[in-house]
Structure 1
Amino acid sequence: MRKGFWSTLVLGSALMGAVLPASAEGQEDLIKPIDKELTFVFIPKVIHPWYDVVRQGGQYAVDEFAKQGIKINMIWDQPPQADVADQNQRIEANIGRAPDGLAVACLDQATNVQLLTEAKEAGVNTITFNSFCSPDFAFVGQKDSYGDGFDLGKYLADHIGGEGEVGILSGSLTATDHVERIKGFKKALEAYPNVKIVFEQPDNDVLEEAVSLTENALQAHPNIKGFFGCNASNPIGIARAVQNAGKAGTVAVVGMDDLPEAVDFVKEGVITALKAQRQWDIGYWAVKYMVAMNQNHTIPMDHNTGSRFITKDQL
């Protein structure tokens, strides 16, 4: 019995020794060195100052990598308007150019996912940012848009005393972040039966449309007590119209993000509250992760950069 045991042990040791050379590679051997200039293409939803800050964060990461000897050509291919067909054409064209990284802010979930899947199948390192699209692609941004809308809905309802008429500017009807914020906002208002939504219109992420739509709403609903803007530009448009109508401080305004004019309106008391995303971080980490993908690193599928409240008291 004892002799059989030692024979088995010796045989097992010999077999282990036979496979050691093949398994001696460490995980570091899986990493690919970067020996060329990389090209990363960013395709946002629209040309917009909000994305300028994303780009600044991305450029900071590009400059960091340059100091390490990794050169990156960062290209922004931006639709002039929030147009699904235009954005999809840009995605498709850039798949054909086979960049080293492709980052897309989804404007239309169904068609964008189809094209992003084609990009991935073509071997393009593909991520999404700003507007969540699908769990099949790594995402960098504030994923809980529903939560932002809910928080702002509750804030507005409490601010107006739990009763009164309110309006909504709904941005783009296909962008998932805009849609989810509206859902969250309306869900919050369910706890306030005396708050009534009397106005809801898409502004298509165009500032001038937001001003015009708010002016119309103020005329049609002279007793309106507040507005919700679900993107970065429409709180500014709402605030301009409210201020021009002489109703600053009387009609409450809540909305998204911290563009400089929006923050100024908070300081002046025209905008009541904002929830601001960290778009600089979004650009920074998007570049970091696309470099990592080229090196054959794994990356997180969901990097939640979060959001924060901005009110006059905080400023």
Structure 2
Amino acid sequence: MLGIVGDSGTGKTTLTRGVARILGQNGVTPICLDDYHRFNRAERLARGLAGADPAANDLSLMASHLETLRAGGSIQKPVYDHHSGILRDPETVAATGLVIVYGMLTLTPPDLAQLFDLTVYLDPDDALHQHWRFQRDTTERGYAPEQVLAFQDTNDRAARRYVSGQRRHTNLVVRFHLADGYARFPKESVQNLEILIRQTDHVAAIASFLDQIDQQAITGTRLDRGIIDADGRTSDRLLIDAGIKQDACQQMIELIWPPHLGVPHLPFSVPETGPSTPTFNPGLTLLPILVASILAQRP
């Protein structure tokens, strides 16, 4: 099981889709924890509850269902319709292949971490995060722009209170930083990628990858070993520049995804670059491969 944590609009669904694309040959069961909202959108707004507030979610049912899925069972999962903001009839979900659990309260309470083979916290720069959330909510979820802006402070306070504390319990922390030299918010924002890899058994599978990154000094990357991060955890920090070249990215993929994984060719290639697309987004390309590689090498 893979657990992905982050505030609303931080890229959880995007990462879920990327990992599923790589490992989906054996089946993937995605579980969006927004489905465990207790109230529909209108009721939450009337009560002044943000989606990240534990009071707005059935955490007991969520924990019970995650334990059942971990054991390979089936559940009657509630369904929250993001576009309309209403609760629909439950659906039967069986644990098939890789179970990917993603939400704002994935590790609430923290002892849920023991259910997962790997946990990831997504933490984009604040301005970038606000842009992503605004774009998603107004184009995909049926919110009017003024609704998003009116509830922004409430959402942010809830995230600081209920979401950010989960970061200390995750194996990977992924940060996205706006790259210099690009329009502030183009349609496809280009970000520098920063990954904190906590020194735990969960990520031991990529120790050789980190050693090779350290030795080869690939252009566009930097590895800081054994730092103490903001949560007081010992981590290796991998920095990947948004301007990393195609050949350097391909070199990294070959290190991340060695032939012994049994899949000699990933189901997609590094995007071509050129005058119209001088670079690409390493968060969309390299991050899901790194996460998938760790999972593929877990015993």
Task: Give TM-score scaled by structure 1 length.
Answer: 0.26
Task: Give TM-score scaled by structure 2 length.
Answer: 0.27
Which structure: larger Rg? 1
When you count helix as a share of all residues, which structure comes out higher? 1
